[in-house]
Amino acid sequence: MPEIPELEAIRAFLAERLPGRRVAAVDPRIPPVFRTPAAELRERLPGDVFGAPLRHGKFLLLPFASGMVLAVNPMLTGRFQYVPADEPLAKRTCLRITVEDGRDLRYVDDRVMGKLYFLPADGLARIPGWADAGPDFLDPALTEELWVERIRRFRGAIKAVLTNAKFVQGIGNAYADEILWEARVNPFTPRTTLDEAQLRALFRAGRAVMAWAVPLAAAAMVRGDRLDYEERRDFLRVHRRGGQPCPRCGTPISEITAGGRVTSFCRTCQPGGPLIGRGATGRPAGR
C-alpha cells in the first residue's frame, strides 16, 4: 500500500514533468476503480493542461487548468507508471493518460481496489471520508502540540491509532511499524498508557522516518525519466523483517499477523504492551 514516502516520491517526480503539459488522450480501461463516471475523463480531459501534482494523506491529486482534479487513492495494490506511450500495457492497467510529450501516465491495480475521482477542485469534500478525516501527517499546521492534543482523543492500541485516518492521514501499516520502532514503543500498547513524553517521541519519530524514507522510496521506483512503482521496501528496518536481527539491538524481530495485517517489532527495543486483544481499533475516546 503506498503511504506518504511512496506518494511523496511520485508527486515530486511528476511535479518535475507534468505541469504545463497538455493531455493528448485518455483511456479509462477498467471501470470498477472509477468512482465518478469514466466517460467524464474520456470526454473532458483531452486538451486540458496539467497543474502541479499534490498529495493529501494517501491520495495523489492531479489538478488541471480547467479547475478539475483527478484524485487517486491507490489503496492496497495501486501503482503509478510514467513510461513511453508505446510500451506494452501491464495486465491491470486501469487508466492511461497520454501526455503531449509522447509518454503515458498510467494507473495499474492488480486487485482493482483503488478509487479514482474526477471532481472540481472545490468538490473534494464529496469524496467519502474526506471531510471528517484528520490532518495530513506532514501538514506544517500539525505541530507537536496539536499532535498531542489530538492523539489524546483516541483509544486503542497505539498502532491502530497511528493508522486511523480520523486521527491523522498518510500513515499506513508499514510505516507505523517503522515509527513505533524508532520511538521504542510497543505497537500493541494502549494509547491511554503512554505518557506525554512518549506521545511527543512518536511525533518526532514519525517526522524523522518520513524524511529518511522519501528519498529511499524514490530510489526504489525512479530510473532516470521513468517511473515504474512496484512495492519494493527493502530499505525498511523492521516491517516484514520477522526473524531478522533488529538493526539496533540484534534481537530477532517478531511478527504478528492479525486481521490480515502484519505487525513487526522488536521485543527488546519495544517492550511491554499486550500482544493483541480487544480495544485495538483506534476509535476516538468516548465512542
Inside any domain, residue 211: yes
Residue 198 lies in a domain: yes
pLDDT at 230 over 50: yes
Q: What is the CATH number of the domain that holds 38?
A: 3.20.190.10
- Tens of pLDDT, residues 145-194: 999 999 999 999 999 999 999 999 999 999 999 999 999 999 999 999 99
Which residues form the domain of 113? Answer: 4-126
| Residue of 11, 58, 79, 237 marked active site | 58
Please indicate whether residue 140 is annotated as part of the active site.
Answer: no
Nearest to 28 by CA among 19, 41, 18, 47: 41
Structural contact between residues 243 and 266, judged by C-beta atoms closer than 8 angstroms = no
Cβ 209 vs Cβ 181: under 8 Å: no
Q: Bridge partners of 119?
A: 69
Q: Catalytic residue among 42, 111, 232, 261, which?
A: 261
Does the annotation count 84 as an active-site position?
no
Of 64, 94, 126, which residue constitutes the final position of a domain? 126
Pair (14, 74) in one structural domain: yes
Q: 205 and 258 in one domain?
A: yes
Together in a domain, 195 and 98: no
The predicted structure's pLDDT at residue 20: 98
Domain boundary among 95, 126, 157: 126
Same domain? For 26 and 112 the reply is: yes
Question: Would the pLDDT of 277 be above 60?
Answer: no
Asked if residue 259 has pLDDT above 90, the reply is no
Q: Are residues 183 and 88 in the same domain?
A: no
Verify that 73 and 187 share a domain, yes or no: no
| Catalytic residue list contains 261 | yes
The set of cell numbers assigned to 249 is: 539491538
Query: 173 and 115, same structural domain?
Result: no
Q: Confirm whether 86 is domain-assigned.
A: yes
What's residue 223's pLDDT?
84
DSSP string for 118-146: EEEGGGGGGSTTSTT---BTT-TT--HHH
Asked whether residue 274 is assigned to any structural domain, the reply reads no
Active site residue 74: no
Model pLDDT, residue 220? 87
Whole-number average pLDDT of the chain = 92
pLDDT of residue 280: 40
Number of domains in the chain: 2
Q: What is the pLDDT of residue 276?
A: 46
Residue 278 has pLDDT above 60, yes or no: no
Q: What is the mean pLDDT of residues 241-258?
A: 94
Of 99, 126, 153, which closes a domain?
126
Same domain for 9 and 106, yes or no, is yes
The total of other beta-carbon atoms located within 10 Å of residue 163's CB is 20
Beta carbons of 140 and 172 less than 8 angstroms apart = no
Q: Which tens digits make up the pLDDT trace of 74-113?
A: 998 999 999 999 999 999 999 999 999 899 999 999 999 9
Cell of 209: 522516518
The CATH number of residue 182's host domain is 1.10.8.50
